[in-house]
Amino acid sequence: MFKEIFLFEFKSCLKNISTYVFFLIFLAIAFASFAGNAGFFDPHSTSLKTMSFANSPHEINFIIQYFNKLYLFLLPAIIGASIYKDYKDNVHSILYSFPIQKRDYFFGKFTSSFCIVILISLAGAIGMIAAEFLPDLDPKKMGEFSLGGYLQVYLVYVIPNLFFYGAIVFAVVSRFRNIYAGFMSIVFIFLFQSISQNAFGSNGTLIALFDPLAQNTVSYITRFWTLEEKNNLIIPFSGLVLYNRLLWLGISGFIFAWAYKKFSFSENISALFNNPFKQIKSGQQEPISLKTKASETAIPVLNYDFSFTQQLKNIWNLSNFHFSYIIKNPMFLMFLILGLITVVFIVGKVTNTGDITLMPVTRIMLKVPAFFFSGTIVILTFLYSGMLIQRERTSGMDQLVDASAVKNWTSLFSKVLAIVKMQLVLLTVMMLAGIIIQIYNGYYQFEIGLYITQLFGLSLISLIIWAFAACLIHTIVPNLYIALFTLLMGWIGIGALPKLGIKTKLLRFNSPPDLEYSDLNGFANTLKPYLLVESYWLIFGFLCLSLAYLFWMRGVPNSIKERVSLAKMRFTKPVKLIVAMCIFSFIALGFNIYKGEKQLLFSSKKVMNKAFAGFEEQYGRYKNFNQPRICSAKIDLDLYPKSNSFKAYGNYTLVNKSEQKIDTLLIKTGFDEITDFNINRKSSLLSRDSLVQFSVIALEESFVPGDSMQLNFTIENKENSLFERNSNVLGNGTFLQQDILPRLGYFMTDPFNPSDPNSKKNHNFATDSDNLDFDITISTSEDQIALAPGKVINQWSENNRNYYNYKIENMKFSMGFNSLKSQVATENWNDIALEVHHHKGHDHNVNKMLDGLKGALEYNSRHFGPYQHENARIIEFPESEGTFATTYGNCIPTSEVRFIANSKTEEGEVDLSLYVSAHELTHQWWGNQIVPANALGASMLTESITEYISLRIYEETYGKEKADQFLKLQRKRYLKGRTSEQEKEPPLMLVKQEQMYISYGKGAMIFTALSKQLGEEKLNRILRGFLEQYKFQGPPYPTSLDLTETLYKEVPDSLSYLISDMFETVCLYENKINKADLRSLGEENYEVTLDFEITKSKDGEDATLADYIEIAFFNEAGKIIESKKHMIYSKANTFKIQVDEKPAKILIDPNLLIIEVDIEDNVWEF
Partner 1 sequence: MQLVIDQLNKTYPNGVKALDNLNLEIGQGMFGLLGPNGAGKSSLMRTIATLQIPDSGSLYFNEINILNQAQELRKVLGYLPQKFGVYPKMSAEKLLNYFGILKGLRSKKERNIMVQKVLELTNLDDVKKKSVSDYSGGMKQRFGIAQLLMNNPKLIIVDEPTAGLDPAERNRFLNVLREVSSANTVIFSTHIVDDVRDLCNNMAIMNSGKILQKAKPTEAIQSLKSKIWKKNILNEELEIYKSKFQVLSSGFNEDNTIKIRVYADSRPNESFENVKANLEDVYFIGLQK
Q: Which residues bind partner 1 (CB under 8 A)?
A: 274, 276, 278-283, 286, 288-292, 296-297, 299-306, 310, 314, 317-318, 321, 325, 391, 395-397, 399-407, 554-556, 559, 562, 565-566
Considering beta carbons, is residue 563 or 760 the nearer one to partner 1? Answer: 563
Considering beta carbons, is residue 391 or 505 the nearer one to partner 1? Answer: 391
Distance separating alpha carbons of residues 855 and 866, to the nearest angstrom: 14
Considering beta carbons, is residue 48 or 405 the nearer one to partner 1? Answer: 405
- 961 burial (CB, 10 Å; 0-12 / 13-18 / 19+) is exposed
Torsion-angle region of 203 (φ positive above 0: left; ψ -120 to 50: alpha; else: beta): beta
What are residue 632's DSSP bridge partners? 653, 773
Distance separating alpha carbons of residues 319 and 409, to the nearest angstrom: 12
Considering beta carbons, is residue 233 or 401 the nearer one to partner 1? Answer: 401
Distance separating alpha carbons of residues 611 and 817, to the nearest angstrom: 29
Q: Within 10 A of 752 (CB to CB), how many other CB atoms are there?
A: 19
Nearest approach, Cβ of 300 to partner 1 (angstroms)?
6
The H-or-E segment that residue 187 falls in is helix 179-199
Considering beta carbons, is residue 296 or 994 the nearer one to partner 1? Answer: 296
Considering beta carbons, is residue 278 or 573 the nearer one to partner 1? Answer: 278
Distance separating alpha carbons of residues 962 and 904, to the nearest angstrom: 12
Residue in 972, 898, 996 with CA at minimum distance from that of residue 1156:
972
Considering beta carbons, is residue 47 or 404 the nearer one to partner 1? Answer: 404
Helices of type H across 79-178: 81-88, 91-95, 102-132, 147-152, 159-176
Nearest approach, Cβ of 286 to partner 1 (angstroms)?
7
Concatenating the DSSP letter of every residue in 855-902 gives HHHHHHHHHH---SSSEEEEEEE-GGG-S-B--BTTEEEEEHHHHSB-
Helices of type H across 441-513: 448-451, 460-476, 480-496
* Strands in 759-800 per DSSP E: 772-781, 785-787, 791-798
Chain centre distance of CA 234:
26
Please state whether beta strands 734-737 and 816-820 pair in parallel, antiparallel, or not at all (unpaired). antiparallel
Collapsed DSSP state (helix, strand, coil) of residue 702? strand
Contact assessment for residue 409 and residue 367, using Cβ atoms and an 8 Å cutoff: no
Nearest approach, Cβ of 134 to partner 1 (angstroms)?
43
Nearest approach, Cβ of 177 to partner 1 (angstroms)?
12
Output DSSP code: residue 300: P
Output DSSP code: residue 931: -
Nearest approach, Cβ of 335 to partner 1 (angstroms)?
19
Concatenating the DSSP letter of every residue in 1144-1160 gives SEEEESTT--S-BS--T
Considering beta carbons, is residue 334 or 833 the nearer one to partner 1? Answer: 334
Which residues, 6 or more positions from 882, have their beta carbon under 8 angstroms from its beta carbon? 895
Considering beta carbons, is residue 309 or 624 the nearer one to partner 1? Answer: 309
Nearest approach, Cβ of 474 to partner 1 (angstroms)?
18
Angle at 956 between CA 955 and CA 962, to 5 degrees: 30
Considering beta carbons, is residue 41 or 306 the nearer one to partner 1? Answer: 306
Considering beta carbons, is residue 287 or 449 the nearer one to partner 1? Answer: 287
Distance separating alpha carbons of residues 606 and 612, to the nearest angstrom: 10
SS (H, E, C) 979-990: CCCCCCCCCHHH
Nearest approach, Cβ of 391 to partner 1 (angstroms)?
7
Nearest approach, Cβ of 293 to partner 1 (angstroms)?
9
Collapsed DSSP state (helix, strand, coil) of residue 633? strand
Nearest approach, Cβ of 173 to partner 1 (angstroms)?
18
Instruction: Report CA dihedral (559, 565, 570, 575) to the nearest 10 degrees.
Output: 110
Nearest approach, Cβ of 246 to partner 1 (angstroms)?
41
Nearest approach, Cβ of 315 to partner 1 (angstroms)?
10
Angle at 72 between CA 67 and CA 75, to 5 degrees: 140
Considering beta carbons, is residue 562 or 1028 the nearer one to partner 1? Answer: 562
Residue in 1116, 1049, 1052, 1054 with CA at minimum distance from that of residue 1086:
1116
Phi and psi for 71 in degrees, rounded to 5? -60, -30
Considering beta carbons, is residue 230 or 322 the nearer one to partner 1? Answer: 322
Collapsed DSSP state (helix, strand, coil) of residue 1109? strand
Considering beta carbons, is residue 303 or 690 the nearer one to partner 1? Answer: 303
Helix 159-176 × helix 102-132 angle, to 10°: 140
Output DSSP code: residue 897: H
Nearest approach, Cβ of 180 to partner 1 (angstroms)?
13
Distance separating alpha carbons of residues 704 and 698, to the nearest angstrom: 14
Considering beta carbons, is residue 210 or 384 the nearer one to partner 1? Answer: 384
Contact assessment for residue 1004 and residue 971, using Cβ atoms and an 8 Å cutoff: no
Nearest approach, Cβ of 290 to partner 1 (angstroms)?
6
Considering beta carbons, is residue 135 or 283 the nearer one to partner 1? Answer: 283
Residue in 5, 518, 120 with CA at minimum distance from that of residue 526:
518
Cis amide bond preceding 1036, omega within 30: yes
Contact assessment for residue 441 and residue 365, using Cβ atoms and an 8 Å cutoff: no
Angle at 811 between CA 807 and CA 817, to 5 degrees: 55
Considering beta carbons, is residue 48 or 280 the nearer one to partner 1? Answer: 280
**What is the amino acid identity at position 597?**
E
Considering beta carbons, is residue 267 or 907 the nearer one to partner 1? Answer: 267
